[in-house]
Amino acid sequence: MRPTVQEQLLGTCRILEKLVSPCVADPYARTILEGLIGNLRMLTSALPAVPSFLNSDNGATAELLKQLQSIVAPDLASSIALALGQPEPDATDMAALEQRNCELREIFSQALCNTDLTPELRSAALAHMTTRSARAPMRYVPTNSSPVKAI
């Protein structure tokens, strides 16, 4: 489908920068506009990566929950079994992937904070969380173009 989502986002950035931005004199509005354009550019590359990120993270979190299942409290173990028994969502259905991600991460959070983890499981959990944070596709785009401001 043309224009693609990326083409539309980039085109919107171009128009905002070339046509709209020069007409914005108010300093606050201008800063906000620059931030929004920067964020749209970030989304251009991040958006296509979100479904595969969620899909992969769901798989990794589920794998970790399997390992945690044997050492957590019985009611939490039941929650893990129930969650792991659910069918995986369609890999292209972003809303379903998001929902699944939230469900798994909620249980993971409980298991992580309410369990005396073995050193191996703690290392595995930390590695999982660190890898996830490094792979997260969406990033904050700073809005301050200059560190200096006169008051």
Partner 1 sequence: MGKDLKPSAALAAIQSDARLGGTASPVEQVVTGLKALIIDEIPSARDIAFLGVERAAGGLSRENWSLDASWVDETGAQARCLMLMRDAAGTLLATDRKREFAVLKALEATSVPAPKAYWVDYDGHRLGAPSLVMDRMPGTCDYLVLNGHRPLEARLNLGRAFIDLMARIHSIDWRDRALDAALKVPTGAPSRVELAHWEAEYRRVQLEPHPELDYVLAWMRRSAPQAEAIVLVHGDFKPGNALIVGEHISAKLDWETAHLGDPLEDLGWVTNPVRKREHQIAGVWEREQIVAAYCALTGLQVDEVALRWWNVFSCWKLAVIQLTAVSEFVAGRYDRVFQTPSWLYRPMFQMMENTA
109 lies in the binding site for partner 1 (CB under 8 A): yes
CB of 149 to partner 1, least distance (A): 5
Restricting to residues 118-137, which ones interact with partner 1 according to CB under 8 A? 125-126, 129-130, 132-134, 136
16 lies in the binding site for partner 1 (CB under 8 A): no
Under a CB-based contact definition with an 8 Å cutoff, are residues 86 and 40 in contact?
Answer: no
> Is residue 89 helix, strand or coil?
coil
Q: Which is nearer to partner 1, 2 or 149 (by Cβ)? A: 149
**Number of amino acids touching partner 1 (CB under 8 A):** 35
CB of 42 to partner 1, least distance (A): 9
| CA neighbor of 69 nearest in space, from 82, 57, 80, 55 | 80
Restricting to residues 68-107, which ones interact with partner 1 according to CB under 8 A? 102, 105-106
CB of 69 to partner 1, least distance (A): 16
108 lies in the binding site for partner 1 (CB under 8 A): yes
d(CA 59, CA 81): 15
Task: Give start and end residues of each alpha helix (H) in 16-73.
Answer: 27-46, 50-68
Selected from 26, 75, 116, 120, the binder of partner 1 by CB under 8 A is 26
Taking the CB of residue 52, how many other CB atoms lie within 10 A of it? 14
Task: Write the DSSP string, 93-133.
Answer: -HHHHHHHHHHHHHHHHHHHHSS---HHHHHHHHHHHHHHH
23 lies in the binding site for partner 1 (CB under 8 A): no
Under a CB-based contact definition with an 8 Å cutoff, are residues 4 and 110 in contact?
Answer: no
**Residues lying near partner 1 in the complex (CB under 8 A):** 26-28, 30-32, 35-36, 39, 102, 105-106, 108-109, 112-113, 125-126, 129-130, 132-134, 136, 138-141, 143-144, 147-151
